[in-house]
């Protein structure tokens, strides 16, 4: 365990699990700068677990995706003065300029999650309901499948478990259906109330578990047996959805790094945490270019200062463009 930032007065921390040298180095180069700035701005601690939280020799060991469930118990053992924890997957970028402190919104009674099914901000003119998928989710996944097949690989299936109804996803692992589904790349919990509960989820399932998305459906099922605080989608906006809905031209122009960078910046400006979940081409874009160079950070800071100023609405008359001669 490594402490990357120690808060001065706060008892809240962001924590992640980074297993493997490449994974660790990518996080350090591409994600860490935005995380650190966010933590400093809001006086939040930053902790990294760079080793398995359960030894591989243990018969109850599972792949690294599951080890997030043991973070709380490990922190309790360390006897650190911590109240709340926000777990983040490593492939998340944070808009630290305008994003509010997540712990000012989170209430410690329940576990905090972000739905990847309901209240998605992608309005589309599709007058159909596909099973129990929302129109926004259905539209994003349709675009994703079509453009991956067209520009990434003809082997990418146009029909797959991507379109499996919510109830069927839970049925697939042998559980009763739940009404929602979260991407478990962001989990907010109270150390005292929830650490043992999360740990119990880890030990409940054996190595031979069956899941289309590693640990995710199991964790969703278990967590939704308790009360959940559903947080704003902006705290885990999915880049796959963002790109499919707003920037579908990037499927064809994925090698244009400057264009990719500018689109990611635009997406970040409209969201809080941007998650590059998945393994396909677009999910690797977070580590292809420097999103937070000095120039853009300076511009964002200037915008934040302007944004926070209340305008007077001065009647200055018609505003016309300043066009220099011989420029048209």
Contacts 24+ apart (CB under 8 A), 155-162: 156/280, 161/212
Tell me how many helices (H) and strands (E) the chain has. 11, 10
Q: Is the pLDDT of residue 131 over 90?
A: no
Q: Determine the pLDDT at residue 262.
A: 93
Distance CA 18, CA 23 (A): 6
**Residue-level pLDDT at 123:** 72
Question: Facing residues of 85 across strands?
Answer: 13, 189
For residue 213, what pLDDT is reported? 54
- CA proximity to 87, closest of 204, 205, 219, 178: 219
Q: How confident is the model at residue 240 (pLDDT cuts 50, 70, 90)?
A: very high
Distance (Å, whole) CA 70 – CA 66: 8
258 SS3 class: helix
Mean pLDDT for the chain overall = 89
Alpha carbons 322 and 263: distance in angstroms, whole number: 28
- CB burial of residue 132 (10 Å; 0-12, 13-18, 19+): middle
Residue 129: which pLDDT band, with cuts at 50, 70 and 90?
A: low
CA 238 to chain CA mean position, Å? 6
Write the DSSP assignment of 201-232 as a string of letters: HHHHS-TT---TTTTHHHHHHHHTTS-EEEPP
User: Which is nearest to 254 in space by CA: 148, 135, 96?
Assistant: 148
Beta bridge partners of 93: 274
Element (H, E) at 4: strand 2-5
Q: For 243, phi and psi rounded to 5 degrees?
A: -70, -40
DSSP string for residues in 104-167: HH--TTSEEE-BSSSS-S--------BTTB-HHHHHHHHHHHHHIIIII-TTS-SSSGGG--HH
Q: List the structure tokens of 261.
A: 């960078």
Ranked by mean pLDDT, the top range of 112-121, 132-141, 231-240, 288-297 is: 231-240
Looking at residue 29, what is its pLDDT? Answer: 92
pTM of the model: 0.90
| Contact criterion met (CB below 8 Å) for 185 and 92 | yes
Above 90 in pLDDT, residue 2?
yes
Q: Spelled out in words, what is the top-level CATH class assigned to the domain 2-117+181-243+257-308?
A: alpha beta
Query: For the chain, what are the domain ranges?
Result: 2-117+181-243+257-308
111 and 228 in contact (C-beta within 8 Å)?
yes
DSSP-derived letter for residue 182 is B
* pLDDT bracket for residue 18 (50, 70, 90): very high
């Amino acid at each position: 365990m490594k402490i990357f930032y120690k808060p001065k007065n706060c008892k809240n921390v962001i924590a992640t699990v980074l297993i493997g040298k490449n994974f660790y180095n990518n996080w350090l180069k591409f994600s860490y700068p935005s995380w650190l700035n966010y933590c400093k701005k809001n006086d939040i601690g930053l902790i990294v677990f760079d080793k398995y939280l359960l030894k591989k020799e243990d018969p109850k060991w599972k792949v690294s995706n599951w080890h997030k469930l043991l973070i709380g118990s490990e922190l309790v053992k360390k006897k650190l003065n911590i109240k709340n924890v926000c777990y983040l997957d490593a492939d998340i970028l944070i808009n630290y300029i305008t994003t509010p402190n997540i712990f000012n919104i989170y209430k410690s009674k329940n576990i905090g999650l972000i739905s990847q099914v309901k209240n998605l901000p992608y309005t589309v003119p599709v007058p159909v309901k596909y099973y129990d998928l929302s129109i926004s989710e259905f539209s994003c996944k349709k675009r994703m499948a079509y453009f991956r097949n067209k520009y990434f690989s003809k082997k990418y299936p146009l029909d797959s478990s991507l379109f499996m109804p919510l109830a069927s996803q839970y049925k697939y692992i042998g559980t009763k259906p739940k009404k929602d589904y979260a991407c478990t790349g962001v989990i907010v919990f109270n150390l005292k109330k929830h650490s043992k509960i999360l740990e119990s989820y880890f030990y409940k399932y054996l190595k031979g578990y069956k899941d289309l998305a590693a640990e995710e459906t199991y964790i969703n099922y278990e967590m939704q047996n308790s009360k959940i605080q559903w947080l704003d989608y902006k705290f885990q906006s999915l880049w796959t959805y963002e790109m499919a809905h707003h920037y579908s031209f990037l499927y064809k122009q994925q090698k244009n790094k400057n264009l990719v960078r500018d689109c990611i910046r635009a997406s970040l400006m409209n969201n809080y945490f941007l998650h590059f979940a998945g393994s396909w081409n677009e999910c690797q874009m977070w580590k292809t270019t420097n999103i937070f160079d000095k120039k853009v950070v300076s511009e964002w800071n200037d915008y934040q200062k302007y944004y926070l100023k209340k305008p007077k609405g001065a009647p200055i008359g018609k505003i016309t463009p300043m066009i220099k001669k011989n420029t048209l």
